[in-house]
Amino acid sequence: MAVKKFNPLTPSLRFRVAIKKDELTKGAKPERSLLAPSSSTGGRNSAGRTTVRFRGGGHKQRYRVIDFKRDKAGVATIESIQYDPNRSANIALIKYEDGVKTYIIAAKGMKPGQTVQSGKGVAPETGNCMYLSEVPLGVFIHNIEMHPGQGGVLVRSAGTAAQMMGREDRYAVLKMPSSEVRRILVTCRVTIGIVGNGDHNLEILGKAGRMRWKGFRPRNRPVAMNPVDHPMGGGEGRASGGHPRSRNGIKAKGQKTRSRTKASNSLILNRRKTGNKK
């Protein structure tokens, strides 16, 4: 895939950078049996109060039911690669020999007509789902389970991948996209390959209206607010807002938010690299 720029025929096209959709299957429509209704909350909770600001509007969408568990054994054929409005990665529609269809995360290099498998003893090829106990060292993986049978929860965004580094007793050692090195049980399932649509981060929307289509409303800067509205507000003229912090006063930079007593802390061998030089 590659990016494409536009001649500045309109103000919105002047800075627009789009992604070529060469990976997607032309004419492919969403599988109706795998669609679920998706209602917009507008940032409100069950009591009707705003819990997330600057949300609302947006185009109507339907949720695509994705098979993150990949617990169905057998050979499946990739029918099409499709766009999913609910995630940055593309999705692949696969069909098993018994006629069952499911959606999975589309890995880099997937094409219609290819076959994928899941279970024990499968080859470590792109799109195949297997246990960490069988993954060769150095292989890139995605859609990683944290607990056996839970379904993949890690490394599902476009262009991401974790790398198999080794094994220690009951655990596999993985290097995550954030550069964190951690252990995960070898009885967890993973999918081989790198998540597709790697150019997703190069897209530039070009105008504010495209963000409104996605359901985001305009956001005003905290330093432009009054002290009653935000801790960073107030001051005469263009005064600084002080140390960056949230509306509730929680510091936004440098303050650790992970619990020191979290049970999985012992599974993290090396923390992710940050910009802090401390």
Per-residue model confidence as pLDDT tens digits over 24-41? 999 999 999 999 999 999
User: How many CA atoms does the CB half-sphere of 160 hold within 13 Å?
Assistant: 20
- The pLDDT score that the predictor gives to residue 105 is 97
- The pLDDT score that the predictor gives to residue 162 is 97
- The pLDDT score that the predictor gives to residue 42 is 94
CA–centroid distance for 212 within its chain: 20
Q: How confident is the model at residue 275 (pLDDT cuts 50, 70, 90)?
A: low
Q: Is the CB of residue 106 less than 8 Å from the CB of residue 81?
A: yes
- For residue 149 the two structure tokens come to 């049978």
- The pLDDT score that the predictor gives to residue 1 is 61
| pLDDT tens digit sequence for 102-118 | 999 999 999 999 999 99
What is the share, in percent, of the chain residues with pLDDT greater than 70?
98
Which residue(s) pair with 77 in the sheet?
95, 115
Q: Does the model's pTM come out above 0.85?
A: yes
C-alpha to C-alpha distance for 214 and 158, rounded to whole angstroms:
17
- The pLDDT score that the predictor gives to residue 240 is 80
Q: Is the pLDDT score of 163 beyond 70?
A: yes
Nearest 5°: phi and psi at 245?
-155, 165
- The pLDDT score that the predictor gives to residue 278 is 45
Q: Is the pLDDT score of 206 beyond 90?
A: yes
Structural domains of the chain ordered from first start = 3-48+57-200 (2.40.50.140)
Q: How confident is the model at residue 242 (pLDDT cuts 50, 70, 90)?
A: confident
User: How many CA atoms does the CB half-sphere of 112 hold within 13 Å?
Assistant: 12
| Amino acid letter for position 132 | L
Across the chain, mean pLDDT equals 93
- The pLDDT score that the predictor gives to residue 272 is 87
Q: Mean pLDDT across the stretch 189-202?
A: 95
Q: Is the CB of residue 76 less than 8 Å from the CB of residue 116?
A: yes
